[in-house]
Amino acid sequence: MSQPKVRLYELLKHRPSLKQTKKIHAQVIFRSLVKSNNLTGSLIRSYSDHGELKSARKVFSRYPSLPPTFLWNLIIQAYSKTARNNESLHLFKEMLLLGGCHSLAVPDDYTFTFTITACSHHRTLLGFAQNCHTMVIKLGYDSDVCVGNALVNTYVVYSRTESAQKVFDEMSQRDTVTWTSLVKGYATGGKIPQAEELFAKMPERNEVSWAVMIAGYVGHKMYNHALRCFNEMLINGDVEPNEAIYVSVLSACAHLGQLNQGKWIHFYIHKNGVPKTSNIATALIDMYAKCGKIDYAKQVFNGINKRDLLTWTSLISGLSMHGIGEDALQMFTEMLAENIKPDNITLVSVLNACSHSGKVKEGILIFNNMERLWGISPKLEHFGCLIDLLSRAGELEDAFKAVKKMGMEPDGVIYRALLSACRLHGNAGLAERIIEHVTRRDGGGHVLLSNLYASLGQWDNVRKIRESKIDKEGDSTSTPGCSYIEIDGVVHEFLAADKLHPRIKEINLKLNEVMRRISLEIDVGDYSLFHT
Q: What is the DSSP string of 420-431?
A: HHHHHHT-HHHH
Distance, CA of 348 to CA of 317 (rounded, Å): 8
DSSP bridge partners of 483: 494
Q: Is the pLDDT of residue 285 over 90?
A: yes
CA angle 494-485-222, nearest 5°?
50
Distance, CA of 510 to CA of 495 (rounded, Å): 17
Q: How many helices (H) and strands (E) does the chain have?
A: 30, 2
Distance, CA of 312 to CA of 330 (rounded, Å): 11
Model-level pTM? 0.77
Phi, psi angle pair for 324, to nearest 5°: -95, 65
Of 369, 339, 375, 338, give the one whose Cα is nearest residue 351: 369
Chain centroid to CA 179? 23
Q: Is the pLDDT of residue 455 over 80?
A: no
pLDDT attached to residue 4? 81
Q: Is the pLDDT of residue 513 over 80?
A: no
Q: Is the pLDDT of residue 449 over 70?
A: no
pLDDT per position as a tens digit, 402-419: 888 887 777 667 777 777
Alpha carbons within 13 A on the beta-carbon side of 230: 29
**Average confidence score pLDDT of the chain:** 86
- Cα Rg, the chain, nearest whole Å: 30
Query: What is the pLDDT confidence band of residue 480, given thresholds at 50, 70 and 90?
Result: very low
Residues 270 and 530 sit within 8 Å (Cβ to Cβ) = yes
pLDDT attached to residue 532? 47
Distance, CA of 17 to CA of 12 (rounded, Å): 9
Average pLDDT over residues 10-39: 91
Q: Is the pLDDT of residue 506 over 60?
A: yes
Q: Is the pLDDT of residue 523 over 50?
A: no
- Counted residue by residue, the chain has a size of 532
Query: What is the pLDDT confidence band of residue 372, given thresholds at 50, 70 and 90?
Result: very high
Query: What is the pLDDT confidence band of residue 491, given thresholds at 50, 70 and 90?
Result: very low
Q: Is the pLDDT of residue 241 over 80?
A: yes
Q: Is the pLDDT of residue 288 over 50?
A: yes
Residues 492 and 484 sit within 8 Å (Cβ to Cβ) = yes
CA distances from 33 to 53, 54, 70, 74, 528 (A): 21, 20, 18, 19, 64
